Amino acid sequence: MSAIGSRVPITPLPARGILPPRATGATYDSHFTRSPLEEVHALIRVWNQSAFERRKLKVTLQIKLGDIMNRIGYQLIVDSL
């Protein structure tokens, strides 16, 4: 019997230990997770570092609060230098 055409179902081994299976890497990874706004700021920072030298452009992010307290908008502003 070959492993390529095998139809034997694969069952995972039971998890052992005190932590649930999903929490094994969550503690470590939580230190490196970023919010969507932090991700946008990081992308803008990379863009500004490369685009400033080539195209003389600068991108900034403005946060605009709406009339309703729950509503927040964002604007990307591109300046030509």
Q: How many distinct structural domains can be found in the chain?
A: 1
The domain in which residue 55 lies consists of: 35-80
C-alpha torsion 18→11→28→49, nearest 10: -170
Q: Report yes or no on 2 lying in a domain.
A: no
Classify residue 28: in a domain, yes or no.
no
| pLDDT tops 60 at residue 59 | yes
Question: Is 20 domain-assigned?
Answer: no
Whether this prediction's pTM lies above 0.75 is answered by no
On whether residue 12 sits in a domain, the answer given is no
Distances (CA, A) of 69 to 30, 64, 73, 74, 76: 29, 11, 11, 14, 21
Average pLDDT value for the chain: 70
* d(C-alpha 24, C-alpha 80), whole Å: 47
Q: Does residue 74 register a pLDDT over 60?
A: yes
